[in-house]
Amino acid sequence: MQRLLLPPLKVLMGNPCLRLLVPRAAPRTQCGCSCGIRHSLRPGQYSTITEVGLQSGRGTVSLPSKAAERVVGRWLLVCSGTVAGAVILGGVTRLTESGLSMVDWHLIKEMKPPTSQEEWEAEFQKYQQFPEFKILNHDMTLPEFKFIWYMEYSHRMWGRLVGLAYILPAAYFWRKGWLNRGLKGRVLALCGLVCFQGLLGWYMVKSGLEEKPDSHDIPRVSQYRLAAHLGSALVLYCASLWTSLSLLLPQHKLPETRQLLWLRRCAHGTAGLVFLTALSGAFVAGLDAGLVYNSFPKMGESWIPEDLFTFSPLLKNVFENPTTVQFDHRILGITSVTAITALYFLSRRIPLPRRTKIAAATLLALAYTQVGLGISTLLMYVPTPLAATHQSGSLALLSVALWLMNELRRVPK
């Protein structure tokens, strides 16, 4: 029996990950003879793996902390990818003007799409009762309605997939004990934000379904609610990605110099600018501001258009005047790429690890690519494929900005 059990036990005890799970036995004290005497173990101290298993009430040892962190990190990386997919799909839904095709919301009932001709006609008749059909799509056919309906349906089903991707694994990891105290709070916040995001999406859609007798504008969702919906999705994406990178990437031990402190602050400020620029894109999309001035670098014949501040009070122009909204988005984009360029050259003056240098260079390349996509989208009158690529580019830029921030994070003492 000893021959069978001793070699495997030696291999197990030699595993450094497993040693972390087994508290050390009490030290031996010298008694003047060749033998050592163990002090009695205090409650909670275990000298063998078997005692750990018996104390926990199970015959198996829990996953080592580092391995658990890797599993949780990969899960959150996948979750951030699903959120990115939802943002991109939502952008395409907005560009194809499909967001108001489903005029009600049911968590379970709407998961089954119409299958028969009668069901499709009933769904189409519901859509015909709302302003978008009456004002904009009064000559729409049933096949055309099916296209925009399936676009919105895909976005909603993807949102449910995102919710399941967060909630089900979170419950499993919680039960298994793979989440420490800090991660438990963060995971709870992420799951709560996912649920809030779904409710906020329907709240946004409702704003486009309301009758406005005094208005002859094209029916559209509120740009404020659209910005809130996108903003909460970006917060969810950033929080998930940041936590994932913190768990998966080994932290650099960089010397805390004044130059590094400046670089870290610039990286934080630049990431904030990129986030704000992406969020301002929601107001551009909500007001169709990309169709106002389709020229660059000037807006029409002038650098500053005459109708920049036509609304009263003055602050209203920032959020409701399409000209001002496009102007602000241009300024934010130019400021962001300027900050990223300065950040890159500042990083060249400091000795940094290779991975950090790659992050800085990637951020610079993506920034100029994103500027090119934005200008092309504007000059070509916002074609859907190009505009969707531009929206996806903002997510990629934000991702790399977070990656660089993570590379430069301070090592806890």
pLDDT in tens, 385-399: 999 999 999 999 999
Judged by phi (left if over 0) then psi (alpha if -120 to 50, else beta), residue 353 lies in beta
What's the CA gap between 221 and 382, in Å, rounded?
19
Q: Count other C-beta atoms under 10 Å from residue 341's C-beta.
A: 15
Determine what percent of the chain is predicted with pLDDT higher than 90: 75
What's the CA gap between 332 and 140, in Å, rounded?
38
What's the CA gap between 389 and 149, in Å, rounded?
22
Look up residue 395 and give its two tokens: 């997510």
What's the CA gap between 32 and 17, in Å, rounded?
35
- Top pLDDT among 107 and 214 is at 107
Is pLDDT of 278 > 90?
yes
Look up residue 280 and give its two tokens: 């301002």
Is pLDDT of 42 > 80?
no
Q: 37 forms bridges with which residues in the sheet?
A: 29
The pLDDT value recorded for residue 56 is 38
pTM for the complete prediction?
A: 0.83
Q: Are 47 and 53 in contact (CB under 8 A)?
A: no
For 80-144, give the DSSP string.
HHHHHHHHHHHHHHHHTT-TTS-----TTGGGS---SHHHHHHHHHHHTTSHIIIII-TT--HHH
Read off the pLDDT band of 66 (50, 70, 90): confident
Read off the pLDDT band of 64 (50, 70, 90): low
Read off the pLDDT band of 410 (50, 70, 90): confident
Alpha carbon 139 to its chain's center: 38
Alpha carbon 179 to its chain's center: 20
Omega cis (within 30) before 351: no
Read off the pLDDT band of 412 (50, 70, 90): low
Read off the pLDDT band of 229 (50, 70, 90): very high
